[in-house]
Amino acid sequence: MPADQFSSTPPRSRHCGRFLAHLADRLALAAAAAFALAPATAQPATERVAPNPPLPAIEIRAGMHLIRAEVAADGATRARGLMMRERLEPNAGMLFVFQDKAGQCFWMKNTRIPLSIAFIEDDGTIVNIRDMQPLSEESHCSARPVRYALEMDQGWFARRGIKPGDRLRSERVFSPSRN
C-alpha cells in the first residue's frame, strides 16, 4: 500500500505544508541575495539627501573666464550646497552668499564631486583657495572673515592660473565699495 494511506494527515495538507516550506526557503534566499548585493556604503534611509535642485544662477568673470554660478543665499540652500550631485557642467559652480562677514568653514559630507573652494572678499578678491575631497568631514575654512565662497570642480582655479589676490567680477554681487 502507498504510504499516504497510513498517514493521519490528508495528502492535500502535506502538499500545502511542503509548498509553504519551499516558499519560505525561496524568500529567505532572495532576502539574503538582496542583502549581499546591496552596496557596502549604502546610507540608512534617514541619512539620504536628495540633491539640491538647480538654483538661480549668475555670471562671474575670472579674468577671461566666465563662470555660471548657482547662488545659495539662504540657510537651507547653503546647508545642502552641491550634496549628492554627480557632476558639474564645465565652468559651473556654486556661490555661497552669507549675510555677514565671518570665518566660513565647509566640509564635503554627502558631496560626491571633488571641489576647490575660493573664499572671497566683498570686492571679489580671492582670500584663499582650498581643495576638498569627496565625502570628507574635514573642515576647510577661510583665512579671514568673508561673505562669499565659490565652489568649482577641483583644480578649476589652478588650471586657469587663478590664485589668492586675484579678483572675480560680477555686477550683481561684488562691489569695490563693500569691503
The model's confidence at residue 8, banded by pLDDT at 50, 70 and 90, is: very low
* Spatial distance between the Cα atoms of 165 and 22, rounded to a whole number of angstroms: 72
Q: How many domains does the chain have?
A: 2
- Bridging pattern class, strands 65-72 and 92-102: parallel
For residue 46, is it within any domain? no
Residues 103 and 172 placed together within one structural domain of the fold: yes
The neighbouring-strand residues paired with 130 are: 117
Mean model confidence pLDDT for the chain: 81
Residues 127-176: tens digit of each pLDDT = 999 999 999 999 999 999 999 999 999 999 999 999 999 999 999 999 87
CB 165 within 8 A of CB 120: no
Indicate if 30 and 92 belong to the same structural domain: no
Amino acid, res. 101: K
Model confidence over 87-111: pLDDT tens digits?
A: 999 999 999 999 999 999 999 999 9
Classify residue 45: in a domain, yes or no: no
Residues 147, 68 within the same domain: yes
- Name the residue range of residue 13's domain: 3-37
Query: Tell me, what's the pLDDT at 25?
Result: 54
Write down the pLDDT at residue 110: 92
Query: What percentage of the chain exceeds 70 in pLDDT?
Result: 70
In this structure, the answer to whether residues 16 and 97 fall within a common structural domain is no
pTM surpassing 0.75? Answer: no
3-state DSSP call for residue 153? Answer: strand
Residue 177 pLDDT grade (very low, low, confident, very high; cuts 50, 70, 90): low
* Angle, CA of 16, 18 and 19, to the nearest 5°: 60
Is 42 contained in some domain?
no
Structural domain contains residue 44? no
